[in-house]
Chain A
Amino acid sequence: MFQLNVLKKYLTTFEMGFETALEYRLNFAISLISAAYPILIQTFLWTAIYQSTTEDALFGYTYRQIIAYTLLAGIVVRIVRTGFEYEIMQDVKTGKFSKFLVQPLGYFAYRLADFLGQKVPNLVMLFALLALMLLGLNVVWGVSVEFGRILLFLVTLALALALNFVIFFCISSIAFWIVEIGFLFEGVRIVIILLSGGIFPLEVFGETFVRITDLLPFKYTVSYPINVLNGKVAAEDILPHMLLQCFWIGACALLARGLWRVGSQRYVAVGG
């Protein structure tokens, strides 16, 4: 009964996040349209590059593969994208965070529930788009994906979403030290998207770069799920990588916990 009561708090938060997102559905639709531009530009760019070379594959990708990657990356980046860090910034800046200190409610769980709730309508649209895209690739180019890979892709994608949430929960703790950090969030986000393979496949940047990104959590948010789907990750490597993904979720969650403990103590000391 006690557990149920606790769960109810976050379920209600989830529902309210969902309702809020529905209030802003037009906003989201417009953001989708604007997201199409970079994808379009990259498609033209790759087309030009592949036309000017005699080789069949660059960086280990054929022309069709690289276009498929670009399209998928455009959607996966959207799927794992966060946005709650601005709300956290506002909470800290305006002192609204105090409210959470005096209520019997966990801030992390509250933010997660709200975030997922707000994400649901977006996810529905994004997955519909993804299905259309896979279908289109299949019809036009005859690209076919195994059903098993799709299932594994969905699992890794869920983990990728969780991972990105904890990563940005860590980053949002900067709000305790710097008041106006909206610009920082965008800067960090672009770097992270680049490191996660959200713009180009990581191989484009060379071997050293790939080796560095292997040691970081970011590629598990975009590049890895796509590579599960397109077959770049060998079947026997899927599970170990999934475990690594889980490891990074745990590690970032621990880091977030530490950062938030120190940060909220600072908040308490300075006064909101």
Chain B
Amino acid sequence: MIIQVRQLSKSFDYYTKELGLKNSVRNLFARKKLTKTAVGDISFEIDAGEMVGFLGPNGAGKTTTLKMLSGILHPTSGTASVLGYTPWERKKAFKMQFAIVMGQKNQLWWDLPANESLYLNKCIYEIDDQTYAATLAELTELLDVRDLLNVQVRRLSLGERMKMELIAALIHKPRLIFLDEPTIGLDIVSQKKFREFFKYYNQQQRATIILTSHYMEDVKDLCKRTIVINEGQIVYDGDLGQVNDVFAQSKLIKVQLSAPVSPETLAAFGVVREHTDVTATLQVPRAALKESSKIILDQLPVTDFTIEDIPVEEGIAELYQRRKHDHVSA
């Protein structure tokens, strides 16, 4: 086991200000202090070699969790063991074995070519010359940026720069990698390349990778296991493909029709989710799938017929919503 988290919590203090100058002045003398729980009491375990996705809306606590696991933040309460260390003690031996990549933050020296920053990281992580040369050759080959090593960082495109950032983060061959929104701002082709790279790296190096992303595709494509966080709580932990099994046991039936059918008529066969004159999407209970299909095919002028799962995105959105309702009712 590489990561073990027990009841980890983190809350921040913050201040509010009502609209207007009057309240700005008032705030100078007495501010109302509020506490926000960014992460509340989460527990999970991650094994060596796993590739786990953290999914959740903005402000869910994904980044805060990663920051605690990498030792940047102290938790308010709870314990964590990462690679056998308590991360926020920031032991050198711990730092030597992991890396964190934050999509929006750069560690490369802006005015110098990337290879200078990479060489600095070689020194920082005390890598010997031979290993460094081999790793650098491999990574630049994989990411196809060998020709760009001597170009000033400020002259690189965002995608190229992100690749260099990645090489800088991986040059010491970390056993554990935290990726916080690594594909943010990248175009679709670059996103895909990054995903392929992560997949390959995870398999080749047997590195454990924890990834947060807004892009469902990143997580869907890469991670067998997904931890969904919302409002600081884990709301789902498992295979993303099965996220829909947790609640609504429903399927979608999509039909193409030869003649227009009114939505009222369609409603008799299932919940109408979408419809035009000649197409319709109906949601039916999984248990009644066979029966519903038969009736639809018999009674409607169907020219085409498909059965689909509810998209994962919807399941996730449902999970986000659900948690909010729970809070309201609690």
Contacts and interface: CB of A to CB of B under 8 A. Distances in A.
Interface stretch (A34-42, A98-106, A120-128): A98-106
A83 B108 CA distance: 20
Interface stretch (B112-120, B198-206, B287-295): B112-120
Given A8-B123, A268-B74, 10 more contacts: A8-B126, A9-B124, A19-B111, A101-B72, A102-B72, A102-B99, A104-B92, A270-B12, A271-B38, A271-B73
B275 interface: no
A272 interface: yes
Closest 9 CB pairs of A and B: A12-B123, A5-B126, A104-B95, A23-B111, A9-B123, A98-B72, A8-B123, A104-B92, A99-B107
Interface string A12-39: 1100100110011000000000000000
B47 to A, nearest CB: 22
Contacts of A269: 12, 73-74
Nearest to B67: A271
A19 B116 CA distance: 10
Could you say which interface size class chain B belongs to? 20 to 34
Contacts of B124: 9, 103-105
B64 interface: yes
Contacts of A103: 95, 124-125
Contact of A271 (B12, B71, B90, B107): B12
Could you say which interface size class chain A belongs to? 20 to 34
Contact of A102 (B71, B106, B111, B126): B71
Contacts of A211: none
Contact of B67 (A19, A23, A98): A98
A172 B120 CA distance: 24
Contacts of A8: 123, 126
A148 B126 CA distance: 43
17 contacts: A9-B124, A11-B123, A12-B123, A13-B120, A16-B120, A20-B109, A20-B112, A98-B67, A99-B107, A102-B70, A102-B71, A103-B124, A104-B126, A105-B124, A271-B12, A271-B73, A272-B72
Interface in A169-220: none
Interface in B18-61: 38
B137 interface: no
A24 B72 CA distance: 33
Contacts of A268: 72-74, 88
A99 B105 contact: yes
Interface of A: 5, 8-9, 11-13, 16, 19-20, 23-24, 94-96, 98-99, 101-105, 268-272
A269 B11 CA distance: 9
Contacts of B96: 104
Nearest to B152: A23
Nearest to A10: B123
Nearest to B110: A20
A187 B92 CA distance: 38
Contacts of A272: 72
A8 B124 CA distance: 8
Contacts of B90: 101-102
B65 to A, nearest CB: 12
Contacts of B72: 98, 101-102, 268, 272
Most buried by B among A11, A104, A270: A104
B100 interface: yes
Contacts of A11: 123
Contact of A94 (B99, B105, B109, B126): B105
